[in-house]
Structure 1
Amino acid sequence: MLSAQERAHVAQVWDLIAGHEAAFGAELLLRLFTVYPSTKTYFKHLGVCPDETQLLTHGRRMLEAVGVAVRHFDHLRAALSPLADLHAQVLRVDPSNFPPLIQCFQVVLASHLQDEFTVEMHAAWDKFLTHVAIVLTEKYR
């Protein structure tokens, strides 16, 4: 569970990136594919150009889901239930891909927000994203 201060840090960072979901999400995916090439298995239809429409669209959808999690933290399981079902039962994404995704997201946040992304914010986002990943993997059998 996140403390009130950690929630404030998560909300503060989200306020800085809200409205830029497509760009942040596309960069996140490109970093993920570069550093962890095996993750591209799930995204064969996506190119590797930062301005490619499909990459921007999927990146936006990913970050919009993070936005849902930020807004519905107290009801995270209910808010992310459809997404958890999709990943576990339809897409069958290997849950071991979530930690590298979290790591790459942290790098994107740090590279864009720089000094605004404090150590405390980093720790809060790590805890928050780990909790999101746990919720997304609870429906795996």
Structure 2
Amino acid sequence: MLSAQERAHVAQVWDLIAGHEALFGAELLLRLFTVYPSTKTYFKHLGDPPDEVQLLSHGQRVLEAVGVAVRHMDNLRAALSPLADLHARVLRVDPTNFPLLIQCFQVVLASHLQGEFTVEMQVVWDKFLTGLAVVLTEKYR
């Protein structure tokens, strides 16, 4: 899926995020809910407006899943299989939401990392996150 150089770019950006997963994740979710209000359907437990503590907690979980994917780029299917099952079979999240999440995540990365999130990094992260979304949606078939 990714070349050695692309993997290095993913890891480089992840190193900048590591330790700040809750904040990045909460901002990602808040942006997702604001830009695409229909996605809030799956997060009613967060409240309206979202409870900050719960938003940080769920944001942490979302970014931790991305961290698992970063650590297991060679075998995303095996690493994310339980998460894919959860989203497809239990939560029944519409798979059209994953590209929306990817788009919002890239905006959050660009806004925080600015010059460190180069065009090349954005292209690689788009490729990586799209691969992650493909794995998460495979259980829908």
What's the counterpart of residue 35 of structure 1? 35
Equivalent residue for 2:63?
63
Residues 42 and 93 in structure 1, CA contact (< 8 A), matched pair in contact too: yes
How many aligned positions are there?
A: 141
Offset of 1:66 from its aligned partner? 0.2
Please provide the CA RMSD for this pair: 1.2
Deviation at 1:50, TM superposition (A): 7.8
**1:51 to partner: Cα distance:** 7.3
Name the amino acid aligned to 1:15: D
Task: Map 1:122-141; keep pairs closer than 5 Å.
Answer: 122-141=122-141
* Distance across 2 between alignment mates of 1:125 and 1:55: 24
Cα distance, 1:48–1:5 mapped onto 2, change above 3 Å: farther
Q: Secondary structure at the match of 1:2?
A: coil
Q: C-alpha distance in 2, partners of 1:128/1:109?
A: 14
Q: Which amino acid aligns with 1:13?
A: V
Question: How far has the Cα of 1:47 moved from its partner?
Answer: 3.8
Structure-1 residue corresponding to 2:88:
88
1:49/1:23 Cα in 2 relative to 1: closer, same or farther (>3 Å)? Answer: farther
What stretches of structure 2 of length at least 5 have no aligned partner? none
Provide, for residues 61-106 of structure 1, a one-character-per-residue CA deviation record: whole Å limited to 9, x for no partner: 0000000000001111000000000000000000000001000000
**Structure 1: segments with no counterpart, 5+ residues:** none
Q: TM-score, normalised by structure 1?
A: 0.97
Query: 1: CA distance between counterparts of 2:60 and 2:77?
Result: 21
Query: Normalization by structure 2: what TM-score?
Result: 0.97
Q: Does the Cα contact within 8 Å between 1:22 and 1:60 map onto a contact in 2?
A: yes
